[in-house]
Amino acid sequence: MNKKLSLILRWAFLIIVLVAIYLPIALIVVYSFSAEKNIGSENGFGEFTFSLYSQLFQNSQLMEATLNTLIIGVVSALLATFIGTFTAVGLYYMRKGKKTVNFISQITVVNAEIVTAVGFFLLSIFIRDVLSIPLNKGIGWLIVAHTVLTTPYVILSVGPRLNQLNPNLYEAGLDLGAGPMRSLFTVVMPQLISSMISGFALAFTLSLDDFVVTNLNKGTGGVNTISTFVYANLKRNLDPSIRALSTIIFVIVLAVLIVFNIVKNKKQKAAQVG
Amino acid sequence: MKIKKLLKRGNDFRPTFFAFPYVLICIIFVVLPLVLVLVYAFMDDGGGFTLTNFVEVFTKDNLLLLLKTLGIAALTTVLCLLIAYPTALILASKPFNRYVILALMFIIPMWMNFVLRIIALRSLLYMIGVDYGFAATIIGMVYDFLPFMLLPIYNVLMEMDKSYMEAATDLGANSFLTFFKVTLPLSLKGIISGITMVFMPVFSAYAITGMLGDTNTTIIGGKINGLFEMTSTWGVGSAMSFVLLILVFLTMLLGNVFSGKGDNKPLAKGGANE
């Protein structure tokens, strides 16, 4: 009896926390089908409509911000995955100086984001005014910043996988007549692909979620990401179609995670059978 | 002769070289920005050395701001821990640990853009009549940072060897004693990792105070960002960033000391892997 009560209490606790987590999101999803300007106004829900969704695609500024977010996210995550993987491989075979490089790469991970943002800001000033290299802050500069910001996470994702590999594989490739490059690309790298994918996913989500660095480094040219656009328009009138955008993003996140888990389960089952 | 030497060098290629480009990237984009923060912090308008920036940082108002930020960060951390620890404990306990999808549900929102999530929470708070201000800010902070506290604690609890708890029970400890003498000390590393992922990041989370707070809930990250939006106050902003950098360093040191204590290797790993 006592055990049953404890089980019920534990379920209750989990459900309360889950409700608290999903209530705001559920509210936005439901109200994305209402044309009411404000949630919680006296008018209530009004009638069911898809008008916010068509309104979303007509809001050119918001669409541009979404496109910018995706471009910056994809390009910087690809660059971070490329640089991060090669660096992890290099660090794995490094004897001297490995600790120093690891320490420096961890600075961006542990540092307060606002200090990192200030650092990039001052660096852009330094490049423009001291080195006299014309630098227009905008998408390009944001891609650079996001790449630097997310590369350590790719290293953190690929590094442990390398440690699990048999250290003699690379040498075996050399013994069998492959050059160092070939041995790395055909023997070592293929085994890193799954950790590279999770590194890419991590870098991509971190880039999408970034606000502090982007806000200080987007320049005055009117380049915005979803985060900075929504934040900047908060004080004025925030387009209610933002609810439609939130719903779409939530559904995509959910779909990707479900597919990812199904694939993972299938792989595990296949591994168990094989 | 020369060509032969060059060819020989080509054969000397080592995978370590793959890490070298990243070392260069780190020097330009990680170390140089921090040096620039330092330079701007100690530089006056004419380019000479000065301490006036720091005099301006340590005014009564700014110290109050720092204290308030520390308070908000501490309160957020404590509340996250109070919610996340029981949640993780339940998720890692017996009937629940079979459902990975259940644990996943608690961190799914982490993949959604946090500005959009906070906007959703803002609508909910408006609907149920919570005014924007201190309470709303704290709710928003906890809402945003909860997964970052939950994940490391959950991971540590899942990896923990359950036989220690069974041994404690066998040796006559009741469930309270088992928890405080065995489970809690063994999960210390996850707790500390969770704290470091919440406490310092709150300092930069001025987007949340901007969306849910009022003029009294400004935090130091927002203040620094504001200082760099005007051209005349970069020195003070850099000095403030420098102070924050020292704070980051101190909390890191503190975290290392504590997790060093919790790192009871023969116990945590059963001595088998050592």
Nearest CA in chain A to B121: A24
For residue B15, what pLDDT is reported? 76
| Span B187-206, pLDDT tens digits | 998 999 999 889 999 999 99
Asked if the structure places residue A144 within a domain, the reply is: yes
Q: Is pLDDT of B273 > 50?
A: no
Look at residues B2, B131, B137, B21 and name the one whose alpha carbon lies nearest to residue B76.
Answer: B137
What is the CATH code for B52-261?
A: 1.10.3720.10
Question: Measured between alpha carbons, how far is A232 from A234 in angstroms, rounded to an integer?
Answer: 6
The closest CB to that of B20, out of A90, A113, A242, belongs to A90
**Between chains, do A112 and B18 touch, taking CB under 8 Å as contact?**
no
Nearest CA in chain A to B116: A246
Nearest CA in chain B to A115: B241
Asked if the structure places residue A103 within a domain, the reply is: yes
Asked if the structure places residue A79 within a domain, the reply is: yes
Which residues from chain A sit within 8 angstroms of residue B155, using beta carbons?
Answer: none
Whether pTM > 0.90 for this model: the answer is no
Report DSSP state, residue B133. Answer: T
Contact assessment for residue A134 and residue A179, using Cβ atoms and an 8 Å cutoff: no
Residue-range definition of the domain harbouring residue A114: 53-273
Question: Measured between alpha carbons, how far is A100 from A91 in angstroms, rounded to an integer?
Answer: 11
Question: Measured between alpha carbons, how far is A79 from A83 in angstroms, rounded to an integer?
Answer: 6
Asked if the structure places residue A172 within a domain, the reply is: yes
* Mean pLDDT within A157-168: 85
pLDDT band at A18 (very low <50, low <70, confident <90, very high): very high
Q: Which amino acid is at B258?
A: F
Q: Is pLDDT of B264 > 80?
A: no
How many residues are present in chain B?
Answer: 274
Which of B57, B123, B153, B246 to mutate to probe the A interface, most A CBs <10 Å? Answer: B123
Nearest CA in chain B to A29: B120
Which residues from chain B sit within 8 angstroms of residue A206, using beta carbons?
Answer: none
**Between chains, do A234 and B241 touch, taking CB under 8 Å as contact?**
no
- A:B CB pairs within 8 Å: 228
* Mean pLDDT within A20-40: 87
Contact assessment for residue B143 and residue B176, using Cβ atoms and an 8 Å cutoff: no
Asked if the structure places residue A252 within a domain, the reply is: yes
How many residues are present in chain A?
Answer: 274
Which residues from chain A sit within 8 angstroms of residue B152, using beta carbons?
Answer: none
For residue B13, what pLDDT is reported? 66
| Span A189-217, pLDDT tens digits | 888 888 999 899 999 999 999 999 999 99
Q: Is pLDDT of B7 > 50?
A: no
Contact assessment for residue A203 and residue A77, using Cβ atoms and an 8 Å cutoff: yes
Assign residue A116 the CATH number of its domain: 1.10.3720.10
Higher pLDDT, A145 or B98: A145
Count of domains for chain A: 1
Residue with tokens 């359950």: B162
Tell whether A231 is within 8 A of chain B (Cβ): yes
CA-based nearest distance B1→chain A, Å: 23
Sign of CA dihedral B254, B260, B263, B264: negative
Question: Measured between alpha carbons, how far is B269 from B273 in angstroms, rounded to an integer?
Answer: 6
Asked if the structure places residue A5 within a domain, the reply is: no
Sign of CA dihedral B133, B115, A121, B201: positive
- Coil, helix or strand at residue A26: helix
